[in-house]
Amino acid sequence: ELKVEQNPLFLSMQEGKNYTIYCNYSTTSDRLYWYRQDPGKSLESLFVLLSNGAVKQEGRLMASLDTKARLSTLHITAAVHDLSATYFCAVDGSNYQLIWGAGTKLIIKP
């Protein structure tokens, strides 16, 4: 059974700091997704990573994928308050369903 684990599940940090969220998955998967959810809002797609060594960047967020280690990271550079949200990773499971991590709630304090 494919499992996806995120850590940490909760992160409180100061503006201007750097931090990394980790996403581990248990079996081989073709692609990995990162989503963002603001409180009370829907989920928004951030990145899709398709191959080993893939790196994508959008503003202060950078995602990478290591398929051999079954690990993806979401790195936040010089965090700002607007990045406060819950971040989910997900991987393709059987039957083309997405298997979701539990989410990382990120709070960035001014």
Where does this chain bind other proteins (CB under 8 A)? 30-31, 33, 41-45, 48, 88, 92, 95-98, 100, 102-103
Q: How far apart are CA 36 and CA 67, in angstroms?
A: 22
Q: How far is the CB of 57 from other proteins (least distance, A)?
A: 17
Q: How far is the CB of 94 from other proteins (least distance, A)?
A: 9
Q: How far is the CB of 83 from other proteins (least distance, A)?
A: 19
Query: Cβ closer to other proteins: 55 or 102?
Result: 102
Query: Cβ closer to other proteins: 64 or 86?
Result: 86
Query: Cβ closer to other proteins: 96 or 110?
Result: 96
Residue 19 tokens read as 């931090």
Query: Cβ closer to other proteins: 42 or 51?
Result: 42
Residues 6+ apart with CB under 8 A from 33: 45, 47, 48, 49, 89, 90, 91, 98
Q: How far is the CB of 23 from other proteins (least distance, A)?
A: 14
Residue 25 tokens read as 């998955």
Q: In one letter, which amino acid is 52?
A: N
Residues 6+ apart with CB under 8 A from 15: 78, 79, 80, 81, 108, 109, 110
